[in-house]
Structure formats: C-alpha cells, structure tokens
Structure 1
Amino acid sequence: MNENILYNFLKNKPTYLDYDDELKLMDIMTKLPMSWLIKNKKEFIDALEELEISHTETGFLYQEECDDIIFDNFCEWLKEVNSKTGIATLIYIKDLSSEGLDEFRKSLRKDENTDK
C-alpha cells in the first residue's frame, strides 16, 4: 500500500481545505486499515490536524444538516481508532462533531429573518 496516501492527497491543496476535500479526506482516512494508521501515525495525525483546522476555520459554515451524519460517523470512527491503536484522536472530536451546529444554524436563520 502506498505509504504517502494522505500526504499525496493534501500536497497540492490550499491551507484551508475546500469543504468537498474535507469530505474526501475523511472518506480516505476511514478506508485505511488500522495497521496503516499505526505504521504511518505522523502522516495520519498531520492530515487529521489539517482537517480539524480547515473545518473549524471555514468548513463548518458549509456543513448542511444532511452531512451531520458523515461527521458524526467520522467522530465515532476516531473513537474506534483511539481504542484499537492508542493514537490520541479523541481531542479532534469536539471540533469535528456536529454537536452545537443546530444552535449555530438557528442563530443564522434568526439573523437572516431579522435583517428582512
């Protein structure tokens, strides 16, 4: 298996990933075997950090309710990775979960209705 899977995906991307690239990166990550994650821990953590930064800076603004399940499933997968590999992934869950987005979306709708 190619050892630089995540690096190769990210190498020509901007600092802040497009939302679609966030989704693609999560898909790539979840398909990697646990043995790959252990062997390529630095590459995995670097990609996870890039995903977290992109999502907390801009990505969450594009996350629609129908995509919440994707992020929630990814967070569940991060818990599994932590449990099976010992790689510290739990610290990323707060920023990648959809928890709190409903309140944010309500406040946006309220602001939009106030502006009219």
Structure 2
Amino acid sequence: MKDACPCGRPCAFEACCGRYMGTGLPAPDAESLMRSRYTAFVRHDEAHLLATWHASQRPGNLELDEGVKWLGLEVKRHTPIDDTHAEVEFVARSRVQGRGQRLHERSRFVREDGHWFYVDGDILN
C-alpha cells in the first residue's frame, strides 16, 4: 500500500496515525497513541513524542538518532485498567549500524482531559 502507516495497521498514514500527529485530535485509546508514538519515531517527529509524553516524565528535549531504521511494530497486548489508565505491551524492531535490535516493553498510559499520554514503561525480555 502506498504511504502505508508505519504502525502496522493495514491503512494509509493519513487515515491512521497521521490523524493524531500534529492535528490536536486525541487518540481514542492507549494503543492508538502508542502506535502513533512508534510512527513518530519512524518519521523523526520529536514534537509529537514530546506532546504525548506525560508532563511528570517528559524530558526537556529529545534528539532522535537518525541512524536508527525502524523495521516494524507488533502490539502484543492492550490492557485498559480503568477509564484513565492503560498498559500496552509491544515489540518494536529496528536496525542500528546494520545490527538488528528488538525493544519489548510494557508501557503505561494515563488519560487526562480526554487525551492519552505515555507515562513510562518496563523493558521486558
């Protein structure tokens, strides 16, 4: 598919994660936000990453490594805890200087004023 969304859903970027990146439209759930954050890493969109990071954990600035090539995302589990808390377990694959890498994380999200935010996560093996 031309201009397929990097998050892995079978649709175009504009119809998928592009709806939430730079538009002010909130993601409807933590999984959609997590997918848009992965897409932001792929597209080097530091502004989206910072805007969707909870203020309690957000770094002052962010410098993405241009040498990372993101290869794919697999969402293993989306677990709503209550109306304002959720977890998303995922595996993101990348290549850095020709070497394959894999990030397996369980991320925590919180919803405030109708917007989901990434709080933090635990790296899994």
Is the TM-score greater than 0.5? no
Larger Rg over CA atoms: 1
Q: Higher RCO, 1 or 2 (CA under 8 Å, sep at least 6)?
A: 1
Q: Which has the higher helix share?
A: 1
Normalising by the residue count of structure 1, what TM-score does the alignment of the two structures yield? 0.31
Q: Which has the higher strand share?
A: 2
Normalising by the residue count of structure 2, what TM-score does the alignment of the two structures yield? 0.30
